[in-house]
Chain A
Amino acid sequence: MAVAEKMLLMGNEAIARGAVEAGVQVVTGYPGTPSSEVFGTLAHFAKEYGYYAEWSVNEKVALEVAAGAAYAGARALVTMKQVGLNVAADPLMTLAYIGVKGGLVLVVADDPGPHSSQNEQDTRKFAQFAKLPVLDPSTPQEAKDMTVAAFELSEQLGLPVILRPTTRTCHVCQDVTLGPLPLTRNECRFDKNPGWVILPGLAYKKHIWLNQKQKEISRLFSSMHFNRAEIKGKTGIITSGVSYNYVVEALEMQGWEASLLKIGTPYPLPEDLALEFLSQVERVLVVEEQEPVVEDQVIHLAWRHNLPVGVAGKHNGLVPREGELDVDKVTAILHKYFGFVGMEQAAAGNTVRRAPDLPLRTPVLCAGCPHRAVFYGFKEALKDYDPVFTGDIGCYTLGVIPPLNALDTCLCMGASVTIASGLSRVEQGRKHVAFLGDSTFFHTGVAGLINAVYNRADITLVILDNGTTAMTGHQPHPGIGRNATGDPARRIDIAGLVKGCGVDYIRQVDAYNLQEVMQAAREAVQYEGPSVVIARRECVALVKPGARYRVNTGACIECMLCVKNLGCPALSGEEKVVISEKCTGCGVCAQVCPADAIEEVSRHEV
């Protein structure tokens, strides 16, 4: 027998592989941690396997492009993170009524913790809200297998299917057993039919249809191998997603036994399977991350069927509703609920003395990051104004970290512009300056700008154009002139677009040139009505550093202004400034230095 081929794959790469195995034809997405590598991998292999891939300007657009392809019978996949689904909510809710012909899979990655997100929302709740089936993989292997299954399920049901991995599936690597690649692809043709046109009369009918579907899906899920029960006595645990791993390991580590129901499809609950399980246990603990999605359905089911089984979990405060779970947390929960013994021993192996205070280490803007210079320049230039700086989602959110302390708000993609506009209505006489990145400008910033122009909001928008979508891993966007698969594309000029939106005051500056930045800052806030400053410099992670800087110790007056005000990770020192090899040669510190003591040298001469 041939040995199945294995590869070390990250969960997100495994999902991408699953999509290729399923014969995906169209892939769209907007980057967002922890989802980004799904699309990144698919874009990389698009030409080799012959499917279409695009980074769309936002999640709503991405879903709509994928839906169009699926209307014609193509298998389509769209990727985003949990907050991205909010942007795509509008098409999603109606798409559940309209349905699809070809398989449409939404990969929506959740970020319990959260590690890189502005909230912890649970996409399974969204699936429930939209009445769409959701699959919740516990490992990269399962993520791959579920992706293949999700396409089949979507076509079988005529509904979009949501695959919802969490950080510990997305960013976990595993030895994944690969499946065969497809020999055939769906044939595509859009057949005209009134069923594609959502008018109120049709919406009503389709809502009935969608509601009826829920039972059919639940029955189907009861026989799916992603859901399985193992009976080992009257003590039961029901668990979903990555929590399943923690439960299995906690039981094994402690030598405990319990009946286990693994749920891979949290909505709709596989009721037949769950009923059978509930009838064989006396009490059951539901272990899942985030919201009590499975737990609520289990309680509901037990109540409806009059089952004499106690259900515990989040509602009695045993399982936290916030943050990530892990083996240690789950062990403690199992111990507390079931009164299992053995915990005392487990804790004993791990006594560590109190450590000395450790230095605070938060993520910061990279050495040489062009955003640092712009934030610094605007703060300096507008010192006498008490301005409000509204922020947005991207690397530049880190501008809030000391010593820059440059941001006063941060809400969601594109909101810097709109929040500033709102503030400007009620704080007349104050300067409101919004900062966002180039990719975010295309995502939803442009809509806010159009609104600001149309309603003549007196704000300044600073577009931090570093020529990439940096925070999520350097994905391209329409301002770059290169598409997702690396081909040349028509570059959308940001300045031109801003002009097209009706902005009369536009200044383009070199982000590294402090004088230029400061002058533009003063002028822009003086201008009445919406003004836009575009600060340009490529992301420092994408350019090879040329020169670097060093301190002329003879000239240095030890004022430490460069260290204290810029917060550049290449600058350190308590009395004497030291510039480390992290220096990328941006030269901003030299412009800040009042003694001209920082000088440019070649990379090799330090």
Chain B
Amino acid sequence: MKFDLVITGVGGQGTVLASRIVARAAMDAGWQVRTSETIGMAQREGCVVSHVRVGENLAGALVPDGRADVLLGFELAEAVRALAKLKAGGKAIVNEDVIVPTSVSVGLSRYQVQDIREYLEKELPGVCFLRASEVAREAGNSKTANVVMLGALSTLPGLPFSPEGLLEAVLKTVPSQFREINRKAFEMGRRAMGVC
């Protein structure tokens, strides 16, 4: 068994926590795990990428190009930036809520939302778009968008853990006062996948 997951997003979206949760669920299910995350300077609103590898006889923590089974894009443009990691036929779940960088606000670059969305649809037939940040707000806290994405992930086939196992890992990882809101976010993420 080998399962490679790549999570991309923007610093502050909780990619690190999400990858730790996935790793914990896989570890609790009896697998070896490795994660590698972006920590430090890039965390301040920069591009961040987390790699999660699950299985037996693992070597490095970095997912090679074209090897990821699943790509979780926490932000639309960031999903495209990491697309080369996904294997042919791999599954992608993308948060279509955009985070416009200041470079766009100050006129140094452009964010072509429609082009990017269409590109993803063409490049990845079956890509699931989710308004994870909006769902998270409905769940009661926009910061739980990462857990909404994990809920969505839990609906995919072939994961090295059960949906219950992943939820369990969420609840074990988040601070106790936020457990209920995260449980709700996770479940809303699952439900959102039913309509994509």
- Whether chain B is bound by chain A comes out as yes
A156-179 contact mask (Cβ, 8 Å, vs B): 1 or 0? 000000000000100111110000
Residues on A with C-beta less than 8 A from B32 are 174-175
- The answer to whether B116 and A358 have CB atoms under 8 Å apart is yes
Instruction: Specify the main secondary structure of chain B where it touches its partner.
Output: mixed
Residues on B with C-beta less than 8 A from A253 are 64
Residues on A with C-beta less than 8 A from B19 are 173
- The answer to whether A327 and B105 have CB atoms under 8 Å apart is no
When chains A and B are docked, how far (Å) is the Cα of A248 from the Cα of B43?
Answer: 30
Stretch from B80-88, B158-166, B177-185 that touches the partner: B80-88
Q: Is B187 on the interface with A (CB-CB < 8 A)?
A: no
Task: Please give the distance in Å from A345's CB to the nearest CB on chain B.
Answer: 11
- The answer to whether A364 and B39 have CB atoms under 8 Å apart is no
When chains A and B are docked, how far (Å) is the Cα of A121 from the Cα of B108?
Answer: 32
Q: Is B101 on the interface with A (CB-CB < 8 A)?
A: yes
Task: Please give the distance in Å from A34's CB to the nearest CB on chain B.
Answer: 7
Stretch from A44-52, A228-236, A346-354 that touches the partner: A346-354
Q: Is B174 on the interface with A (CB-CB < 8 A)?
A: no
Q: Is B110 on the interface with A (CB-CB < 8 A)?
A: yes
Q: Is A581 on the interface with B (CB-CB < 8 A)?
A: yes
- The answer to whether A569 and B45 have CB atoms under 8 Å apart is yes
Q: Is B73 on the interface with A (CB-CB < 8 A)?
A: no
Known: A356-B119, A359-B104. A327 touches B62 (CB 8 A): yes
Q: Is B109 on the interface with A (CB-CB < 8 A)?
A: yes
Q: Is A362 on the interface with B (CB-CB < 8 A)?
A: yes
Known: A33-B39, A116-B41, A572-B105. A357 touches B123 (CB 8 A): no
Residues on B with C-beta less than 8 A from A34 are 39-40
Residues on A with C-beta less than 8 A from B66 are 346, 349-350
- The answer to whether A242 and B11 have CB atoms under 8 Å apart is no
Query: Quick one: which of A116, A358, A403 contacts B42, CB cutoff 8 A?
Result: A116
Known: A34-B40, A172-B36, A564-B107. A357 touches B60 (CB 8 A): no
Residues on A with C-beta less than 8 A from B138 are none
Task: Please give the distance in Å from B109's CB to the nearest CB on chain A.
Answer: 4
User: In which size bucket is the chain A interface?
Assistant: 35 or more
Known: A6-B27, A8-B23, A327-B62. A361 touches B41 (CB 8 A): no
Q: Is B145 on the interface with A (CB-CB < 8 A)?
A: no
Residues on B with C-beta less than 8 A from A245 are 59-61
Q: Is B6 on the interface with A (CB-CB < 8 A)?
A: no
Q: Is A365 on the interface with B (CB-CB < 8 A)?
A: yes
Known: A6-B27, A358-B81. A174 touches B34 (CB 8 A): yes
User: In which size bucket is the chain B interface?
Assistant: 35 or more
- The answer to whether B65 and A350 have CB atoms under 8 Å apart is yes
Known: A8-B24, A246-B59, A327-B64. A361 touches B47 (CB 8 A): yes
Query: Quick one: which of B45, B61, B122 contacts A364, CB cutoff 8 A?
Result: B45
Query: Quick one: which of A359, A472, A568 contacts B100, CB cutoff 8 A?
Result: A359
Known: A327-B62, A362-B46. A402 touches B106 (CB 8 A): yes
Residues on B with C-beta less than 8 A from A571 are 105
Residues on B with C-beta less than 8 A from A429 are none
Query: Quick one: which of B35, B47, B60, B84 contacts A350, CB cutoff 8 A?
Result: B84
Q: Is B20 on the interface with A (CB-CB < 8 A)?
A: yes
Q: Is B103 on the interface with A (CB-CB < 8 A)?
A: yes
- The answer to whether A249 and B44 have CB atoms under 8 Å apart is no
Q: Is B10 on the interface with A (CB-CB < 8 A)?
A: yes
When chains A and B are docked, how far (Å) is the Cα of A115 from the Cα of B62?
Answer: 15
- The answer to whether B60 and A355 have CB atoms under 8 Å apart is no
Q: Is A380 on the interface with B (CB-CB < 8 A)?
A: no
Q: Is A395 on the interface with B (CB-CB < 8 A)?
A: yes
- The answer to whether A8 and B20 have CB atoms under 8 Å apart is yes
Query: Quick one: which of B20, B78, B109 contacts A173, CB cutoff 8 A?
Result: B20
Residues on B with C-beta less than 8 A from A18 are none
When chains A and B are docked, how far (Å) is the Cα of A350 from the Cα of B90?
Answer: 11
The residue on B at minimum CB distance from A140 is B34
Q: Is B38 on the interface with A (CB-CB < 8 A)?
A: yes
Residues on A with C-beta less than 8 A from B83 are 352, 355
When chains A and B are docked, how far (Å) is the Cα of A556 from the Cα of B20?
Answer: 44
Residues on B with C-beta less than 8 A from A352 are 83-84, 123
Q: Is B33 on the interface with A (CB-CB < 8 A)?
A: yes
Q: Is A88 on the interface with B (CB-CB < 8 A)?
A: no
Task: Please give the distance in Å from A571's CB to the nearest CB on chain B.
Answer: 7
Residues on A with C-beta less than 8 A from B61 are 168, 172-174, 245
- The answer to whether B23 and A364 have CB atoms under 8 Å apart is no
- The answer to whether A366 and B45 have CB atoms under 8 Å apart is yes
When chains A and B are docked, how far (Å) is the Cα of A349 from the Cα of B81?
Answer: 18
Query: Quick one: which of A33, A356, A567 contacts B106, CB cutoff 8 A?
Result: A567
Most buried by A among B35, B37, B81: B35
- The answer to whether A572 and B108 have CB atoms under 8 Å apart is no
Q: Is A545 on the interface with B (CB-CB < 8 A)?
A: no
B2-39 contact mask (Cβ, 8 Å, vs A): 1 or 0? 00000000110000000110011001000111111111
- The answer to whether B77 and A359 have CB atoms under 8 Å apart is yes
Most buried by A among B64, B65, B84, B87: B64
Task: Please give the distance in Å from A332's CB to the nearest CB on chain B.
Answer: 11
Residues on B with C-beta less than 8 A from A569 are 45, 101-102
Known: A171-B36, A352-B83, A563-B105. A366 touches B44 (CB 8 A): yes
- The answer to whether A359 and B103 have CB atoms under 8 Å apart is yes
Known: A8-B23, A245-B60, A364-B44. A356 touches B33 (CB 8 A): no
Q: Is B142 on the interface with A (CB-CB < 8 A)?
A: yes
Residues on A with C-beta less than 8 A from B87 are 349-350
Q: Is A600 on the interface with B (CB-CB < 8 A)?
A: no
Most buried by B among A242, A355, A395, A403: A355
When chains A and B are docked, how far (Å) is the Cα of A353 from the Cα of B122?
Answer: 10
- The answer to whether A171 and B37 have CB atoms under 8 Å apart is yes
- The answer to whether A172 and B34 have CB atoms under 8 Å apart is yes
Q: Is A64 on the interface with B (CB-CB < 8 A)?
A: no
Known: A326-B62, A327-B60. A356 touches B35 (CB 8 A): no
Q: Is A398 on the interface with B (CB-CB < 8 A)?
A: yes
The residue on A at minimum CB distance from B41 is A116
Task: Please give the distance in Å from A578's CB to the nearest CB on chain B.
Answer: 10
Task: Please give the distance in Å from A491's CB to the nearest CB on chain B.
Answer: 27
- The answer to whether B106 and A403 have CB atoms under 8 Å apart is yes
Task: Please give the distance in Å from A286's CB to the nearest CB on chain B.
Answer: 18
Query: Quick one: which of B33, B64, B102, B116 contacts A8, CB cutoff 8 A?
Result: B33
Task: Please give the distance in Å from A400's CB to the nearest CB on chain B.
Answer: 12
Instruction: Please list 13 pairs of residues, one from A and one from B, whose beta carbons are closer than 8 Å in the complex, sorted by A's number.
Output: A34-B40, A115-B38, A115-B41, A171-B39, A173-B34, A174-B35, A244-B59, A246-B60, A246-B62, A327-B62, A359-B109, A363-B44, A567-B102
10 smallest CB-CB distances across A and B, nearest first, come from A350-B66, A245-B60, A116-B40, A363-B46, A33-B40, A360-B109, A327-B64, A173-B35, A249-B59, A356-B115
Given A355-B116, A361-B46, 19 extra CB contacts under 8 A: A6-B27, A168-B61, A168-B62, A173-B23, A248-B59, A326-B62, A350-B88, A355-B119, A355-B123, A356-B80, A356-B112, A362-B101, A363-B45, A364-B102, A402-B108, A567-B102, A567-B105, A569-B101, A569-B102
